[in-house]
């Protein structure tokens, strides 16, 4: 007996459930689900059995073939980039082998000539044994020893029949060869010498020694052994990643396969173990595998699940690999609105960097390759003729002098005037984003379908507005953040520009070789969208660049050696990739910059210092903006004399003269400066500070607005 339970999906209450007999009329199947409940039914498995063809049949064999069948078209022919890479590798390999042995051909000939006497002796001994038919001697001796006269006589006659023609032939060949050689030595001595040299070389082939090969063999010391499953299992077990007793352990999601210049293994870790547990022990994993740490690259596959580990092991040590050329080295043009070529990952794949609508922070200890990174970034921007470059190289070394002729503003040095110029450039960036914000705000929504931000289409539609990307590069920015008179303003300007300028095409690139907390304010580092950490010494510096918790997530620039110059962790958000910046020599940088200068000249986009103009950095910030920058968090009111002291430290060029006044005069000066903005100073009693005095309430300070 069975009952039919009909559940009405449209009914919100229990009234939607009714029990009817099977004979009752069935309602609309689009609004109900019918479940048959059979009494005393046998239990059924939850997972339905997999439908397979009977084993041993033709269909089963064909299905087994298709399950592991290789692709019809090889990978090298399906993708043009893979085909080019494979062809290039094959040609370069055989060209290298040919050139390698061609250059050493005289050495090989000398070795053959040195072995010629031994080879000639071996040939003469072999010839003498053939003429004397020595292989038959043991048989004759056995017949003589057994006193078998008939057998001995038969063998003797056979021996004479075989030896006589050989002696005659040998004597004839020797006579003809001797006469021919003597005559040729007088008539054609050159050909005779060449023939003798060739004969000696051929004889030398028979004089080889087993322990000393003729051909020089190249032994690649940085080529690693092939990766296999046993090594992966053992290495993971050695670092404590293995299944507990009675539970599932490490399982392979696919076979170990070739992946570029190395091998790739996809592993499902034991239940409850995340891939980050392996990332945290990368050094220990490499030690367990007995491989250089620069060849072992574990990463998590978040598209599968948190416990999926992708382990890539290089066939050759990437740290000792040859240089790969930057894609724009010889020709090409860049677009800042698109990803720019930057460097290569350990597999040799190109890694691109997106700058638009983002900002970049690069940090690492001295000697970690910051200059290589800066060149790859700046030259990429330079090859976009619509991008405006403002560079402040506060080390004064001239590492970026190659792009000086095409920069709108270029400053190199670490003097006070250079630091002031960098601050002025940041202020000008604030003014520029406010100008652009006003224009974008005035456009109808139909012209900004992707949001109110600068796009390539807008920049091309309104060329008179000059909406091209403005890229501000500050190298050694810690010089600003550690200067007592400038650090507060520098931090405030950078934070504001990072947060609000990115939507309007303003890009701030900061490079530092001192990524500690005092040299890198939290308000700045926490706001940057794209980060690149080169070699650092501890987890604090690592997290200062890559963000809080990066070290625990396995993004560890501490594992990078300072000898691996230009290598770092490139992160945007929570995920990161190991990348080595394309190495560009200074002479090559100059050639690229000349090409970029020609592009800008043809496009008519040169401006500022590049055309001999005096660059004036605009500063549209007011005393109200400065009050917002120095106002203590959570404080409702502050006395005027305290605000004057803070403003003088923040902008000494503007407010330091107020310190020469008495308290009343300084308070009056502040009141006069705030009056145009309708901010009044009032008598305030603040017991925590110093009683009653003139001051300002935070509620009276106007709120900031984009484009103000």
Q: Are residues 191 and 239 in the same domain?
A: no
Annotated binding residue 604: no
Whether the per-residue pLDDT at 242 is higher than 60: the answer is yes
Q: Is 368 annotated as a binding residue?
A: yes
Q: What is the mean pLDDT of residues 246-255?
A: 78
* Domain boundaries, position 596: 339-611
Q: 601 and 566, same structural domain?
A: yes
Number of domains in the chain: 4
Is residue 390 within 8 A of residue 471, CB to CB? The reply is: yes
Q: Which of 320, 348, 375 is the last residue of a domain?
A: 320
Share of the chain above pLDDT 70, in %: 86
**Among 291, 320, 349, where does a domain finish?**
320
My answer on whether 370 and 461 are in the same domain is yes
What integer best gives the mean pLDDT of the chain? 82
Q: Distance between alpha carbon 657 and the CA centroid of its chain, in Å?
A: 51
Residue 665 annotated as binding? no
At 126 the pLDDT is 82
CATH of the domain at 678: 3.30.420
Let me know if residue 660 belongs to a domain. Answer: yes
- How do residues 354-376 score in pLDDT, each as one tens digit? 999 989 999 999 888 898 899 99
Instruction: Please compute the mean of the pLDDT values over residues 645-649 and round it to a whole number.
Output: 85
Same domain, 288 and 157: no
Residue 371 among known ligand-binding residues: yes
Confidence band, pLDDT 50/70/90 cuts, at residue 380? very high
Determine the pLDDT at residue 581.
92
Average pLDDT, stretch 191-199?
Answer: 79
Residue 111 lies inside a defined structural domain of this protein: yes
393 belongs to a structural domain: yes
Q: Which positions ≥6 away from 310 have C-beta within 8 Å?
A: 264, 265, 266, 267, 298, 299, 300, 301
pLDDT band at 6 (very low <50, low <70, confident <90, very high): very low
Q: Which residues pair with 568 in a beta bridge?
A: 579
Check whether residue 251 and residue 372 sit in a common domain. no
Annotation-wise, does 370 bind a ligand? yes
Q: What are phi and psi of 198, to 5 degrees?
A: -65, -40
Which pLDDT does position 16 carry in this prediction? 39
Average pLDDT of the residues in 173-190: 80
- Mean pLDDT in residue range 508-526: 88
* 451 and 533 fall within a common domain: yes
Average pLDDT over residues 487-498: 90
Q: Identify whether residues 463 and 343 lie together within a single domain.
A: yes
Angle subtended at Cα 466 by Cα 463 and Cα 469, rounded to the nearest 5 degrees: 115
The reply to whether 69 falls in a domain is no
The residues, ordered by sequence, that sit 6+ positions from 441 with a Cβ below 8 Å of its Cβ are 452, 706, 707
**Mean local confidence (pLDDT), 671-700:** 81
Q: Which of 277, 272, 234, 232 is nearest to 253 (CA)?
A: 232
pLDDT, average across residues 59-67: 76
Higher pLDDT, 502 or 75: 502
The arithmetic mean of pLDDT across residues 236-245, rounded, is 80
Answer yes or no: do 118 and 180 share one domain. Answer: yes
Same-domain check for residues 233 and 141? no
* The predicted structure's pLDDT at residue 340: 94
Does 21 score more than 50 pLDDT?
A: no
Using alpha carbons, list the distances in angstroms from residue 262 to 148, 298, 325, 379, 554: 71, 13, 20, 31, 21
Residue predicted with more confidence, 548 or 34: 548
Residue 400: pLDDT band by 50, 70, 90 thresholds? very high
Identify the DSSP state of 408: S
Residue 249 is labelled as binding a ligand:
no
Residue 383 has pLDDT above 90, yes or no: yes
Which of 250, 285, 320 corresponds to the end of one domain?
A: 320
pLDDT greater at residue 75 or residue 592 = 592
Task: Give the best-scoring range by mean pLDDT among 77-86, 535-544, 549-558.
Answer: 535-544
pLDDT in tens, 64-87: 777 767 677 776 677 776 677 778
Any idea what the CATH number is for the domain that residue 316 is in?
3.30.980
Q: Give the CATH number of the domain where residue 514 resides.
A: 3.40.50.300
- Least reliable range by pLDDT among 100-104, 181-185, 332-336, 642-646: 181-185
Give me the DSSP letters along 457-484: HHHHH-GGG--S-EEEEEETTHHHHT-T
Distance CA 568, CA 577 (A): 8
- Considering the domain architecture, whether residues 119 and 194 belong to the same structural domain is answered as yes
């Amino acid at each position: 007996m069975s009952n039919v339970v009909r559940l009405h999906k449209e009914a919100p209450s229990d009234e939607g459930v009714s029990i009817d007999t099977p004979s009752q009329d069935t309602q609309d199947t689009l609004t109900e689900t019918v479940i048959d409940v059979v009494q005393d039914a046998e239990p059924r498995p939850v997972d339905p059995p997999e439908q397979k063809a009977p084993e041993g049949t033709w269909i089963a064999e064909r299905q087994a073939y298709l399950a592991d069948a290789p692709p019809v078209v090889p990978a090298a022919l399906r993708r043009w980039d893979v085909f080019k890479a494979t062809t290039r590798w094959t040609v370069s390999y055989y060209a290298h082998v040919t050139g390698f042995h061609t250059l050493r051909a005289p050495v090989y000939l000398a070795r053959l000539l040195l072995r010629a006497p031994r080879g000639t002796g071996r040939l003469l001994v072999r010839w003498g044994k053939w003429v004397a038919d020595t292989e038959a001697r043991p048989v004759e001796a056995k017949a003589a020893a057994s006193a078998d006269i008939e057998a001995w006589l038969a063998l003797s006659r056979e021996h004479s029949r075989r030896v006589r023609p050989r002696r005659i032939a040998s004597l004839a060949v020797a006579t003809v060869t001797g006469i021919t050689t003597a005559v040729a030595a007088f008539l054609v001595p050159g050909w005779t010498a060449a023939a003798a040299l060739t004969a000696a070389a051929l004889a030398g082939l028979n004089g080889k020694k087993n322990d000393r090969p003729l051909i020089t063999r190249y032994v690649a010391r940085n080529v690693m052994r092939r990766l296999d499953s046993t090594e992966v299992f053992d290495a993971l077990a050695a670092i404590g990643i293995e299944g507990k007793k009675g539970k599932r352990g490490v399982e392979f999601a696919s076979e170990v396969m070739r992946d570029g210049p190395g091998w790739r293994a996809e592993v499902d870790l034991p239940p409850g173990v995340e891939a980050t547990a392996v990332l945290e022990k990368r050094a220990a994993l490499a030690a367990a595998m007995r491989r250089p740490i620069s060849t072992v690259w574990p990463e998590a596959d978040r598209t599968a699940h948190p416990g999926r580990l992708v382990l890539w092991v290089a066939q050759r040590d990437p740290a000792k690999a040859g240089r790969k050329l930057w894609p724009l080295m010889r020709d090409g043009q860049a677009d800042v609105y698109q990803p720019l070529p930057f460097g290569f990952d350990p597999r040799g794949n190109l890694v691109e960097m997106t700058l638009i609508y983002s900002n970049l922070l690069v940090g690492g200890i001295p000697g970690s390759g910051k200059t290589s990174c800066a060149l790859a970034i700046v030259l990429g921007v330079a090859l976009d003729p619509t991008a405006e470059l403002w560079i402040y190289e506060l080390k004064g070394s001239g590492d970026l002098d190659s792009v000086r002729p095409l920069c709108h503003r270029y400053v190199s040095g670490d003097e006070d005037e250079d630091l002031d110029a960098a601050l002025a450039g940041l202020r000008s960036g604030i003014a520029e984003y406010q100008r652009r914000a006003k224009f974008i705000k005035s456009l109808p929504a139909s012209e900004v379908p992707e949001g109110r931000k600068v796009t390539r289409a807008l920049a091309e539609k309104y060329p008179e507005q000059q909406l091209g990307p403005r890229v501000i590069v500050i190298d050694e920015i810690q010089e600003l953040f550690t200067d007592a008179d400038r650090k507060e303003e520098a931090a405030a300007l950078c934070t504001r520009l990072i947060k609000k300028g990115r939507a309007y095409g303003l890009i701030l690139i900061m490079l530092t070789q001192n990524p500690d907390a005092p040299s890198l304010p939290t308000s700045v580092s926490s706001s940057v969208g794209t980060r690149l950490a080169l070699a650092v010494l501890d987890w604090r510096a690592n997290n200062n660049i890559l963000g809080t918790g990066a070290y625990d997530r396995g993004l560890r620039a501490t594992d990078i050696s300072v000898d691996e110059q230009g290598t770092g962790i490139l992160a945007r958000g929570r995920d990161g990739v190991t990348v080595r910046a394309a190495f560009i020599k200074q002479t090559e940088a100059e050639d690229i910059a000349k090409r970029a200068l020609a592009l800008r000249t043809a496009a008519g986009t040169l401006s500022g210092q590049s055309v001999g103009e005096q660059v004036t950095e605009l500063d549209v910030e007011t005393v109200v903006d400065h009050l917002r920058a120095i106002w203590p968090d959570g404080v409702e009111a502050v006395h005027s004399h305290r605000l004057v002291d803070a403003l003088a430290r923040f902008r000494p060029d503007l407010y330091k003269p107020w310190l020469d006044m008495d308290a009343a005069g300084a308070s009056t000066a502040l009141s006069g400066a705030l009056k145009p903005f309708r901010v009044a100073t009032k008598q305030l009693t603040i017991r925590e500070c110093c009683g009653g005095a003139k001051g300002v309430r935070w509620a009276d300070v106007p709120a900031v607005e984009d484009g103000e």
